[in-house]
Amino acid sequence: MSNTATTETKPAAPAIEKIKVKVDGRELEVPKLMPDWQGKLVPTTMIQACELAKTDVPHYCYHPKLPVAGNCRMCLVEFGTPALGPDRKPVINPDGTPKIAKSPRPAIACATPISPGMEIYTQTPGVKQMREGVLEFLLINHPLDCPICDQAGECKLQEYSVDYGQSASRFVEPKVHKPKAVDLGPRIVLDDERCILCTRCIRFTKDIAGDDALGIVNRGSYNTLTAYPGKVFDNNYTLNTVDICPVGALTSKDFRFQMRVWFLKETKSICTSCATGCNIIVGSREEKVYRYTPRENDAVNACWMCDHGRLNYKWIGRADRLAEVRRQTSEGRSEKTTWTVALNEIAEKLKKAPHGSVAIVASARQTNEEFWLLKKLADKFGALTDSIGYFGEGDKLLLNVDRTPNRTGARLIGICQANVGIKMMVIADSIKVGKVKTLIVFGEDVTKSSLDAELLGKLDTLIVSDILPNETTKRAHYLLPGCAHVEKRGTFTNIKGRVQKFMKAVEAPGDARPEWEFLHDLVYNVTGQDGFLTIEGLFNEMAKDVPAFNGLTWAGLGDTGVTVPT
């Protein structure tokens, strides 16, 4: 992996010299060096200085996390530097200010480093005219098929056309036509006519994903983006090219023609497909999740996420989602019941349970708050607790071998050991010898582990909370329907100890409730402990109680989380 994107920015870096520049007449101090796409300190560029000055410089090919190409020419600005006299000393105006020699030629802001005393002009008539010129050139051969283009609504070409476009085209020649609906790989469709040849996708695949699969063939206006002959564009990061494509040239087969983006509600969330915990935005409409897109967090995932995690959302809307609270009657019949009845009955049974007769199997896909509440229950009954690990092949960029989002949280709170699942055999043995009579299972099909159906049959009480039906939920005495992470709020602790929160995007189906809500009720019923009716309060209580989380607050996590020592 070529990037420092997933590493922490070092706090103890030496102080960087600041230099004074002027952006549109406003003076500001900017660091002389700033991180480039690899995080390496290099001389600050004009576009970075303009960003610090909160001045927007339109651009297509520039991306802060990619090497600079400088080919779109949209970010052209005018600039001047302090004039030097024949003695190599700055010439001073009568009013004492240094005389500025305006450069006769413009410069691309994305690639030109700043120098002390430089003045950058982004709003002059000349700059406006250059932007209009470049935009017109980009539009003449663009098919303007926005009505059928998935990018419409989040397209930079549309946005800048509003700012710098003409109301009507003066182009009367036939447009250049190129291949349409090109099948680049299993997840990507390319429309070459829409491509503005910014080469962001080429640079991403080559320099970030390390799979040199894309390139441009032909000359001049006939430039065509394509995969190398015989090469399929198929790595675990292909869908990022869809995000960074400023136009609708690269589109996702998964999201193709699914929904117009302006209908999508955007919710800040965390990917749950591995322990990296990539920050994402959930796009949903009318309680249906349509897509995940990465959200920038330089401490975790920069601007990227893997295709594996991105496409792992379809189970959320499955028709067989558990949506009813169910209990088993004394005749062994399963019947629908209410939360109040179920929770009261469970509390009564738990209160009567002898010390050491309860075991808890939690899922490493649960939140820190839920683990903490389960831990409270476990402490009350001296219960055995553990979780189940899921591991797969990792890669060098983002995908972790640990395929659960919160094993670190489970370990820090004390639900499982560093060696996850090590106590599962102990729990199995305890059930076998009749010591454990009550088993609480959250989000796991334990029949696939050491607790088979026969063992489960030995239990007096099996309390199961899950999202989708499985062999364990079938055998539950009490079945409590839970929520997917997009249906509730909470925090995960990623493999590096970053505590990150996620928000609710859609409503849970039927009677399903967030686990922390009913766990809180249960803890209150069993132990009488209260005082955390909101997720904010619950998190803050937990942070006080769990040593690893001491000092954290829900508000203090911000959008990108806080790293705790693991």
Partner 1 sequence: MCPTIVNNVETLCDVKHIVALGGAEYAKLGTPNNTGTRIVSLSGHVKRPGYYEIETGKVTIGQLINDPAFGGGLREPEPGRPPRKLKAVIPGGSSAKVFKAGEKFKLKRKGPDGQMVEQEMDMLDLPYDFDSLIAAGSMSGSSAIIVMDDSVDIVEALANIAEFYAHESCGQCTPCREGSLWMSKALHRLTHGEGRASDADYLVKIADNIPGGRTICAFGEACSWPVQSFVAKFKDEFIAKGKADEERRAQGKIDPDTTPSQQHESATAH
Partner 2 sequence: MIVNRKPLTLAERLYLPAIVGGFRVTIRHALRSLFGGKTVTMEYPEQKWAVPPDYRGAPYLVKDQDGHTKCVSCQLCEFVCPPKAIKIIPPGPAGELADRPNAEKMPHEFEINFLRCIYCGLCQEVCPEEAIFLLKDYSLTGLSREEMVYGKEKLLALGGVHGGIQKWKHKLEEAKEQENFPVKV
| Sign of the alpha-carbon torsion through 238, 241, 242, 244 | positive
Give, in order, the Cα–Cα distances in Å from 278 to each of 87, 189, 266, 565.
Answer: 56, 24, 16, 19
In angstroms, the CA 9 to CA 498 distance is 13
Options 8, 17, 145, 452; binder of partner 2; rule CB under 8 A: 145
Smallest gap from Cβ 205 to partner 1, in A, equals 18
Q: Which stretch binds partner 1 (CB under 8 A): 219-227, 309-317, 382-390, 391-399?
A: 219-227
Smallest gap from Cβ 205 to partner 2, in A, equals 22
Q: Give the strand pairing for 461-466 and 478-481.
A: parallel
For partner 1, the closer of residues 101 and 341 by Cβ is 101
Chain position carrying tokens 């182009």: 171
In angstroms, the CA 123 to CA 128 distance is 7
Binders of partner 1 among residues 16 to 75 (CB under 8 A) are 70-74
33, 41 Cβ separation under 8 angstroms: yes
For partner 2, the closer of residues 191 and 444 by Cβ is 191
Residues 6+ apart with CB under 8 A from 423: 384, 385, 386, 416, 417
Binders of partner 2 among residues 203 to 232 (CB under 8 A) are 218-220, 222
Binders of partner 1 among residues 103 to 122 (CB under 8 A) are 104-107
The reply to whether 209 sits near partner 1 by the rule CB under 8 A is: no
Options 27, 101, 133, 169; binder of partner 1; rule CB under 8 A: 133
Options 13, 92, 216, 453; binder of partner 1; rule CB under 8 A: 216
The reply to whether 174 sits near partner 2 by the rule CB under 8 A is: yes
Nearest to 243 by CA among 63, 36, 47, 506: 63
For residue 547, give the DSSP letter: G
The SS3 of residue 469 is: coil
Options 32, 99, 175, 288; binder of partner 2; rule CB under 8 A: 175
In angstroms, the CA 238 to CA 188 distance is 7
Options 30, 68, 76, 110; binder of partner 1; rule CB under 8 A: 76
Terminal Cα distance for the chain, rounded = 23
Interaction pattern, residues 244-283, with partner 1; x per rule: CB under 8 A: ----------------------------------------
For partner 2, the closer of residues 217 and 453 by Cβ is 217
Residue 541 has a CB neighbour count (10 Å cut-off) of 16
Interaction pattern, residues 160-179, with partner 1; x per rule: CB under 8 A: ----------xxxxx-x---
The reply to whether 196 sits near partner 1 by the rule CB under 8 A is: yes
The reply to whether 222 sits near partner 1 by the rule CB under 8 A is: yes
Options 181, 216, 422, 555; binder of partner 2; rule CB under 8 A: 181
Give, in order, the Cα–Cα distances in Å from 71 to each of 110, 198, 199, 213.
Answer: 10, 7, 8, 20
Residue 128 has a CB neighbour count (10 Å cut-off) of 13
395, 355 Cβ separation under 8 angstroms: no
For partner 1, the closer of residues 70 and 421 by Cβ is 70
Options 42, 111, 146, 468; binder of partner 2; rule CB under 8 A: 146
The reply to whether 285 sits near partner 2 by the rule CB under 8 A is: no
In angstroms, the CA 532 to CA 370 distance is 12
List the single partner that 148 binds among partner 2, partner 1, none, CB under 5 to 8 Å by kind: partner 2
Residue 234 has a CB neighbour count (10 Å cut-off) of 15
**Exposed/middle/buried for 266, CB within 10 Å: 0-12, 13-18, 19+?**
middle
CA triple 506-406-521, angle to 5 deg: 60
The reply to whether 260 sits near partner 2 by the rule CB under 8 A is: yes
For partner 2, the closer of residues 30 and 245 by Cβ is 245
List the single partner that 326 binds among partner 2, partner 1, none, CB under 5 to 8 Å by kind: none
The reply to whether 311 sits near partner 2 by the rule CB under 8 A is: no
- Name the site residues for partner 1 (rule: CB under 8 A): 70-74, 76, 104-107, 130, 133-134, 136-138, 140-141, 170-174, 176, 196-197, 216, 218-223
Binding site for partner 2 (CB under 8 A): 143, 145-148, 152, 174-177, 180-181, 218-220, 222, 253-260, 262-263
